[in-house]
Amino acid sequence: MAQLRDLPVAVIGAGPIGLAAGANLAERGIEFHIYEAGASVGTNLLDWAHVKIFTTWEQSIDPVSVRFLEKSGWKMSNLSTLPTGGEIVERYLKPLAEVPELKPFIKTDARVTAISRAGIDKVSSKDRAAKPFRLRIADSSGNVYYEHARAVIDASGTWTNANPLGGSGLTVPGETENAAHIVYGMPDILGKLKERYAGRRSAVVGSGYSAINVLLDLARLPGNAKQITWVVRGTDLARIYGGGEADQLAARGALGMHLRQLVDQGEVNLVRGFSTEKVSSSGDGLVLHGETADGLVSVGPVDQIIAATGQRPDLHMTRELRLELDPSLESVKALGPMIDPNLHSCGTVPPHGYLELSHPEPNFFTVGVKSYGRAPTFCYLPVMSKPALSLPRSRVTLRQRSRFILCFRKLAFARQTPWQMKFAVENQRR
């Protein structure tokens, strides 16, 4: 086996953060491999390719990546416009994946299914840091192979691990049996799935900006007037609709205000304080059954259910590693007190760095959406290195050359507070 220092850094995930991690490693002359489970870079973003984010192009591209792209003749115009998920993939991630500094080191159709240390399990401590990481990788045909790395940056995200309908965090009776009529996330309602939802009765479960996007799309379809039900666990209207005109991101605030108008006009039926306990099927459609402050309540019947209930990290891949996670959020432990939605609102989370993204497992880092665990918000904001940078309700000081600021909004791109990540593996080689 090669010496530890001669092995590459493994980056898991070829989304915006994984590719940016690769670009920053490449600029520092550190060998790396990027493993992407999907057929192309940005596979998860393509699931919501139709959704426009709340941050501009200028706020959504990494400066190191841009330098590589510009050497290949790439140009980005209209930096002040808001891109969709599909535009991010087609106009930014795919060109970035083709630059010579990254292309040879990106492996698609390479799902990392498990990570351990070579020759030892989670219990063994002797010389643990000197052992390389051992990655088990599978392709879509089921072929399995193993590779080694000296450090791992887990940017695999949470998109493919949706939360279930159940208010208790568990799949409810009837959810699996009626899966043909339940979609998770943000379906393309105005595009390829238009026929599925036009003129149909739909229930949207969830209270985030993903749910708001879905509801507004449903309202735009012909024949959907007064056939849309919005089911949320919360009762606080201020939290349900968001910041409105006071929102730090104008486009985001406008969504909440528009939806509130539809609810006030009776176009959308809002059911508050509802915790889903069961889904049943009748001859007239699906019925949601749930607990409320007034006892058991049924919602429906409806033809389709959209669960915009967020995601959670899949922790199976890292079971043999020594991770330290927040007990409630399943985020990196150090971030828990800073991002707990029970304590913090948008814009109140301070900047943080690579130390907060590390674990007791030496040289393993959880980054991007996955580092926030179950927290409902996370943004992506690479910012060019400057002596100081100010953002609304946030102070960020950059003291080191080429420091990387990353922040990513889970699903609806709501938070504007960045976190800092410095690639500590750079120091190991020097």
Tokens of 376: 């409902």
CA dist., res. 11 & res. 7, Å (int): 13
Query: Model confidence over 152-185: pLDDT tens digits?
Result: 999 999 999 999 999 889 999 999 999 999 999 9
CA dist., res. 200 & res. 197, Å (int): 5
Tokens of 186: 């943000």
Question: What is the structure's pLDDT at 351?
Answer: 67
Question: What is the structure's pLDDT at 244?
Answer: 57
CA dist., res. 427 & res. 82, Å (int): 36
Q: What is the DSSP letter of 89?
A: I
Q: What is the DSSP letter of 218?
A: H
Asked if residues 427 and 71 have their Cβ atoms less than 8 Å apart, the reply is no
Among residues 237, 185, 405, 330, the alpha carbon closest in space to that of 339 is found at: 330
As a CATH number, domain 4-160+311-429 is 3.50.50.60
First-residue to last-residue Cα distance in the chain: 22
CA dist., res. 121 & res. 52, Å (int): 44
Q: What is the DSSP letter of 91?
A: I
Among residues 10, 13, 8, the alpha carbon closest in space to that of 36 is found at: 13
Asked if residues 347 and 381 have their Cβ atoms less than 8 Å apart, the reply is no
When mean pLDDT is compared over 103-107, 265-269, 374-378, 411-415, the highest value belongs to 103-107
Query: Model confidence over 340-398: pLDDT tens digits?
Result: 877 765 555 666 677 888 899 999 999 988 988 988 776 554 332 322 222 222 222 22
Asked if residues 15 and 153 have their Cβ atoms less than 8 Å apart, the reply is no
Among residues 9, 14, 80, 67, the alpha carbon closest in space to that of 45 is found at: 14
Among residues 61, 85, 35, the alpha carbon closest in space to that of 382 is found at: 61
Question: What is the structure's pLDDT at 350?
Answer: 66
Identical fold at 4-160+311-429 and 179-307?
Answer: yes
Scan for tokens 């045909």, then name that residue. 141
The SS3 assignment for 25 reads helix
409: confidence class by pLDDT, cuts 50, 70, 90: very low
Virtual torsion, Cα 300, 305, 308, 310, nearest 10 deg? 100
The SS3 assignment for 287 reads strand
Question: What is the structure's pLDDT at 340?
Answer: 81
Identify which has the larger pLDDT, 276 or 57: 276
As a CATH number, domain 179-307 is 3.50.50.60
Question: What is the residue-averaged pLDDT of the chain?
Answer: 82
Q: What are the CA-CA distances from residue 141 to residues 37, 47, 228, 382 (Å)? A: 12, 22, 40, 35
Asked if residues 276 and 248 have their Cβ atoms less than 8 Å apart, the reply is no
Asked if residues 206 and 309 have their Cβ atoms less than 8 Å apart, the reply is yes
Task: Name the pairing type of β-strands 404-406 and 419-421.
Answer: antiparallel
Question: What is the structure's pLDDT at 1?
Answer: 58
Identify which has the larger pLDDT, 35 or 346: 35
Residue 423 scores a pLDDT above 50: no
Scan for tokens 């088990």, then name that residue. 136
CA dist., res. 410 & res. 339, Å (int): 13
Section 1-21 average pLDDT: 89
The SS3 assignment for 69 reads helix
Question: What is the structure's pLDDT at 314?
Answer: 92
Q: 368: Cβ–Cβ under 8 A, 6 or more apart, which residues?
A: 13, 15, 17, 18, 155, 157, 378, 380, 406, 408
Instruction: Centre a 10 Å sphere on the Cβ of residue 385 and count the other Cβ atoms it contains.
Output: 15
How many Cα neighbours within 13 Å face the side chain of 56? 11
Tokens of 296: 């058991």
For residue 11, the surrounding DSSP H or E stretch is strand 9-12
Domain ranges of the chain: 4-160+311-429, 179-307
Q: What are the CA-CA distances from residue 40 to residues 65, 93, 152, 160 (Å)? A: 18, 10, 21, 15
